[in-house]
Amino acid sequence: MDLALPATDGFADYFLPVALEQHQPALGLKASELGFVRGGSASVGDDGYLRLPAGPFATGLSAVPAGAQAVSLAADGTVTAVDASGAAVGLGRLALVRLNTARGDGSLFAPPEDEAPGARVAPGEGAAPALRSGHLEFPAVDADAEAARLVAALAELRLLNAIELALAQPVRAGGGTVPAVDPGPRKETLALAADMPLAEAHLKLLGTEVEVSPGRTTLTVGSGEKERQQLIQSLARVLDGLRRRMLLAQQNFANALRTRDEQGQLNPYRRKIVKLGEAGEVLEAEDPSSFVKKLMPEHPDAGPDQQVTFPNVSQKVERADFERAQLEYALVRELLSRLDPRTIYPPAPDMRLESAAPKP
């Protein structure tokens, strides 16, 4: 039941009134006073009344009947429920309030202190806009379902890449009537049927010749034993770098909500990243991007501005980084098992992405 209001003549001047459930010091509003919103995800509260995240609609709607099968919001603000018997029950109509000038944080607004809210009007009447639903605020995407689908697709891709992974046969001079031409020092190519941006960048710094095309990464190496050993050493270093990336992604994920340091002082965790030196050495660094601030007046770590400073970590980004490194690790390990069958290289770390409870 997402709903939103389009702008009128280019200005966001109509708002939905809600009865606030928490104090909003930044706006000078107290609990039970009116706040104003442009939209939000409507739901049925435990008390049976239709509400937005900031509080219930302040328009005198009736409670949703117990056992109702559905609730619908019309463009004109009419709210209808389908009760347990399948009959339609009208719950009332939402109203809009016009504010000539509003102050707020982008999601919750209040009128200026010297301005009283205008008279309430129904959506779609006169200059008031009609309600819109389902598409203006957030994409209609279930992030968890998409993540599960992505994991399944990656598992299938790993299987296909393992099947297609192969060592190209050395080019040999053929017979026939055409005179053989000396091709110079013979080289071997190793082809992996996958895009490998992390391994590619690292291998190039280590001096390995890499050719990239969509869905394919090809390594070139001389046929001599010395060149072969150099490639094995380079791939082993790439494997270590990918493992470091996965471990840092796990660490970042676990500390995404940590607002205090080990001594209990207000000092948010800063994201750790892998950087590659000029010679291909793997270095650990800190992400210099800004911390994330959220308006959370009730949080024990809120500052004088009622905001809480959180780490510069996105758990979705860390999960994606981990899976990217894990995929490339499996392919590089498979390649090493063919080049160096007498050495056993460890498998990739398991995906243990768990959040640590923030310290008080």
Identify residue 109 by its one-letter amino acid code. Answer: F
pLDDT on residue 9: 58
Rounded to whole angstroms, how far apart are CA atoms 329 and 278? 22
Q: Where are the beta strands (DSSP E) in 102-227?
A: 103-104, 109-110, 120-121, 132-133, 166-167, 187-192, 209-213, 216-222
Q: Which residues of 144-174 are buried (b: 16+ CB within 10 A; e: fewer)?
A: eeeeeeeeeeeeeebeebeeebeeeeeeeee
CA 87 to chain centre: 41
pLDDT on residue 309: 94
- Nearest one of 220, 248, 216, 214 to 234, comparing CA atoms: 220
Label the pairing between strands 55-56 and 50-52. Answer: antiparallel
pLDDT on residue 138: 42
Packing angle, helices 143-164 and 315-339, rounded to 10:
10
* Token reading at 106: 């982008």
Find where tokens 């389908």 sit: 82
Give the CA count within 13 Å in the CB-facing half-sphere of 234: 23
- Nearest one of 78, 88, 83, 80 to 124, comparing CA atoms: 78
β-strand partners of 33: none
Cα-Cα-Cα-Cα dihedral sign, residues 328, 334, 337, 339: negative
Binned average pLDDT, 10 residues per bin, the chain of 360 residues: 70 81 82 84 86 85 88 88 88 87 79 76 84 56 71 75 51 46 64 90 93 89 83 94 95 93 92 94 93 90 91 92 94 92 90 62
β-strand partners of 310: 292
Helices (H) and strands (E) in the chain, counts: 4, 23
pTM across the whole model: 0.50
CA 161 to chain centre: 26
CA angle 194, 224, 217 (to 5 degrees): 10
pLDDT on residue 170: 41
**Complete edge-to-edge strand list for the sheet that includes strand 216-222:** 166-167, 187-192, 216-222, 209-213
Rounded to whole angstroms, how far apart are CA atoms 333 and 355? 29
> What residue ranges do the domains of the chain occupy?
2-133, 143-169+186-339
Q: How far apart are the first and last CA of the chain?
A: 36
pLDDT on residue 324: 93
